[in-house]
């Protein structure tokens, strides 16, 4: 009897899901400071988002203003054409026909005695009729162009006014957000005085040592990752996007910019850019987001870690993925 022996195939194993950890707290004073800093970071992101909206509205206003000017030019040219073609139409209508002069001329054309004379005179009449029809067509077209241009100008003027009103509202909104951020920074500066030397040393710590030879899935992600890691120890500054100081989204913007990929300015907008990535499929170079609504972002480097610019008083560092995790995206060109 022959016994068949089969070899068991190894079971495929899924990639482990990166573990989320609570952010380090340190002393009570440092925990309070970081809580205030997180609130300030959200205000900073709100401010940046409002500034982006203002820039977009300014772009809409500029386009609408250009459209108004172009439409006015078209209307003026169409009005000139209308006058020109009206003169041509008047040659075939009005006094000449009413007085019978034109009819007398036409009668003379038809007064020939031979068939050939009649045909020649008929052809002449057709030329006159064609000229009249062409003049009327040109006049109608010019009138329509003038009307269309006037409507375009009115529409563009409304869009310009709407954009102007929205920009004014956003400007006031930005002033209010800037004041809120400044007030929060004042609280942070006061809280900073309560930090011990060890608390401040913890802030300046660059975190874990990055794994050796991190391999990202694409050349762009590899470049962005290398650039972000090259800024370990760089100071955090609200509204900064490099090349020496950064806020959280500014670091991502700068790093991917070196790879030729332009990210949106804020973490909230970055959280909708590129392709969504499940946590069990994270790869180095992916952007990882925190809080709801999103107000913080880092870059995954593998092994459950990220590089990020945490908050004011801190530096660009490597930290574990944190418990306020909200999702991840993979930037693409």
Whether 270 maps to a domain, the answer reads yes
The parent domain of residue 76 ranges over: 62-192
Quote the pLDDT of residue 22. 64
Q: Tell whether 179 is covered by a domain.
A: yes
Is 248 domain-assigned?
yes
Residues 183-194: tens digit of each pLDDT:
888 888 888 888
Residue 306 lies in a domain: yes
Which residue, 56, 316, 145, 257, is CA-closest to 64? 56
If asked whether residues 212 and 326 sit together in one domain, one would say yes
Q: What pLDDT is recorded for position 224?
A: 98
Judge whether 155 lies within some domain. Answer: yes
Residues 83 and 178 in one domain: yes
Residues 180 and 222 in one domain: no
pLDDT at residue 75, as a whole number: 78
Domain-located, residue 276:
yes
Full pLDDT tens readout for the chain, 333 residues:
444 334 344 444 455 788 787 666 568 888 888 788 888 888 988 898 888 899 988 898 899 889 888 888 887 887 787 777 677 666 665 544 444 444 444 454 445 555 555 555 555 555 555 656 676 676 677 678 778 878 888 888 888 898 888 888 888 988 898 899 888 888 888 888 888 888 888 777 777 788 888 999 999 999 999 999 999 999 999 999 999 999 999 999 999 999 999 999 999 999 999 999 999 999 999 999 999 999 999 999 999 999 999 988 889 999 999 989 999 999 997
Q: Is there a single domain that holds both residue 306 and residue 211?
A: yes
Are 1 and 300 in contact by the 8 Å Cβ rule? The answer is no
Query: Looking at residue 94, what is its pLDDT?
Result: 52
Tell me: do 179 and 120 sit in the same domain.
Answer: yes
Among 157, 192, 227, give the residue marking a domain's end: 192
User: Are residues 85 and 188 located together in one domain of the fold?
Assistant: yes
305 with 222, same domain: the answer is yes
Whether 227 and 315 share a structural domain: yes
Q: What is the DSSP string of 9-65?
A: PPPP-PPPPPPPBPPP--SHHHHHHHHHHHHHHHHHHHHHHHHHHHHHHHHHHHHHH
Q: Is the residue at 48 inside a domain?
A: no
Do 136 and 222 belong together in one domain?
no
How many independent structural domains does the chain possess? 2
The answer to whether the peptide bond before residue 50 is cis (omega within 30 degrees of 0) is no
Rounded Cα distance between 309 and 322, Å, is: 14
The pLDDT, as a whole number, for residue 319 is 93
pTM (predicted TM-score)? 0.66
CATH code for position 298: 3.90.1720.10
Query: CA-CA distance, 309 to 318, in Å (whole number)?
Result: 9
% pLDDT > 90, the chain? 34
Whether residues 72 and 174 share a domain: the answer is yes
Is the same domain home to 271 and 154? no
Reported in sequence order, the residue ranges of the chain that DSSP labels E, i.e. its strands, are: 275-276, 287-290, 296-302, 305-308, 317-320, 325-330
- Of 149, 169, 192, the residue that ends a domain is 192
Domain-embedded: residue 92: yes
324 and 279, same structural domain? yes
């Amino acid at each position: 009897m022959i016994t068949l022996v089969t070899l068991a195939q190894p079971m495929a194993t899924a990639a482990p899901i990166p573990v989320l950890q609570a952010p380090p707290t340190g002393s009570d004073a440092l925990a309070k400071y970081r809580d205030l800093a997180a609130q300030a970071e959200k205000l900073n992101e709100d401010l940046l988002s409002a500034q982006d909206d203002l820039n977009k509205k300014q772009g809409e206003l500029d386009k609408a203003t250009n459209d108004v000017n172009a439409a006015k030019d078209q209307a003026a040219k169409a009005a000139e054409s209308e006058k020109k073609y009206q003169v041509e139409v008047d040659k075939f209508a009005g006094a000449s026909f009413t007085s019978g002069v034109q009819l007398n001329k036409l009668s003379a054309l038809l007064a020939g005695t031979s068939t050939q004379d009649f045909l020649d005179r008929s052809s002449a009449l057709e030329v006159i009729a064609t000229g009249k029809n062409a003049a009327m067509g040109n006049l109608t077209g010019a009138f329509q162009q003038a009307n269309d241009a006037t409507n375009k100008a009115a529409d563009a003027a409304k869009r310009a006014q709407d954009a102007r009103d929205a920009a004014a509202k956003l400007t006031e909104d930005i002033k209010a957000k800037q004041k809120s951020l400044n007030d929060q920074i004042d609280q942070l500066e006061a809280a900073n005085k309560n930090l011990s030397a060890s608390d401040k040393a913890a802030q300046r710590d660059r975190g874990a040592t990055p794994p050796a030879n991190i391999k990202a899935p694409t050349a762009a992600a590899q470049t962005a990752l290398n650039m972000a890691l090259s800024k370990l120890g760089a100071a955090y500054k609200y509204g900064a996007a490099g090349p020496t100081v950064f806020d959280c989204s500014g670091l991502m913007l700068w790093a991917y910019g070196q790879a030729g990929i332009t990210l949106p300015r804020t973490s909230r907008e970055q959280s909708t850019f590129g392709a969504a990535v499940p946590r069990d499929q994270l790869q180095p170079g992916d952007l990882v987001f925190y809080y709801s609504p999103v107000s913080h972002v880092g870059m995954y480097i593998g092994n459950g870690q990220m590089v990020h610019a945490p908050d004011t008083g801190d530096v660009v560092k490597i930290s574990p993925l944190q418990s306020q995790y909200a999702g991840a995206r993979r930037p693409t060109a």
